[in-house]
Amino acid sequence: MTHELPALPYDYSALEPVIDTQTMKLHHDMHHGAYVKNLNAALEKHPNLQSKNVEELLRDLNALPEEIRTAVRNNGGGHVNHSMFWKIMKPQGGGEPNGAIAAIIKKSFGNFKDFQSKFNDAGAKQFGSGWVWLAGTPGSEDVRILTTANQDNPISQGLFPILGNDVWEHAYYLKYNNRRPEYLAAWWNVVNWDEINKRLETLKAHHEPAMAHR
């Protein structure tokens, strides 16, 4: 089986003005598309690995053949990260968090404003390309803010990503140029708290969602 680029759950222009149409087209079609293509190419000569979902591959990178380990880490990570990213955004999103995620944020960070500030600060200070995450230990309510370089995913650290924001320049540069903090602040206006609450339930249930090949 081959991994496939998932369709966006909304139109390219749906997240305007926070994320512009051209950025969405390039980011989804070209960047995410390339990760999927390169992941499939890396796995082509390893049919025993083709039946595994991407999370399984990332969870134990050291178990992979050395000659494809870096390619799977980078491209498999890019595939998982972006498949999450499109889903945790939506048109007319944002606002205050609701449900279980609101309670977790209050318990762990005091209030939403302080959480936003710490999350945005971590994202702004991530040197070079990478991601900023809210991730947790599966089966618990222990959550933390962390950053990863390139397309690394918290799964490889034994954690589960509840939400994450992409701070690669291709995610924001056409609209925000080098003003990464401005992008980070604006991004909260398209956050899909319903989807994030689903991911939180997955964390607390102590199992990871299997990403379909499609």
pLDDT at residue 210, as a whole number: 44
pLDDT band, very low/low/confident/very high, at 1 (cuts 50, 70, 90): low
Q: How far apart are CA 123 and CA 135, in angstroms?
A: 14
Q: Kindly tell me if the per-residue pLDDT of 50 is higher than 90.
A: no
Of 87, 113, 145, the residue that ends a domain is 87
What single DSSP character describes residue 14?
Answer: T
Same domain, 55 and 123: no
Of 65, 87, 109, the residue that ends a domain is 87
The pTM assigned to this predicted structure is 0.92
Give the three-state DSSP class for 176: helix
pLDDT at residue 98, as a whole number: 95
> pLDDT tens, 82-93?
999 999 999 999
Contact 26, 170 (CB under 8 A): yes
Sorted by sequence, the CB contacts under 8 Å of residue 62 that are 6+ apart come out as 69
Same domain, 178 and 115: yes
131 within domain boundaries: yes
Same domain, 81 and 146: no
Same domain, 137 and 199: yes
Domain containing 171 equals 99-204
> pLDDT tens, 96-109?
999 999 999 999 99
Q: Kindly tell me if the per-residue pLDDT of 206 is higher than 90.
A: no
Same domain, 126 and 198: yes
For residues 56 and 15, the model is more confident at 15
pLDDT band, very low/low/confident/very high, at 214 (cuts 50, 70, 90): very low
pLDDT at residue 66, as a whole number: 94
Q: How far apart are CA 92 and CA 191, in angstroms?
A: 9
pLDDT at residue 211, as a whole number: 46
CATH number, domain with residue 42 = 1.10.287.990
Of 31, 59, 87, the residue that ends a domain is 87
Give me the helices (H) in the chain, please: 21-25, 33-43, 54-59, 66-71, 77-87, 99-109, 112-125, 173-176, 180-187, 193-204
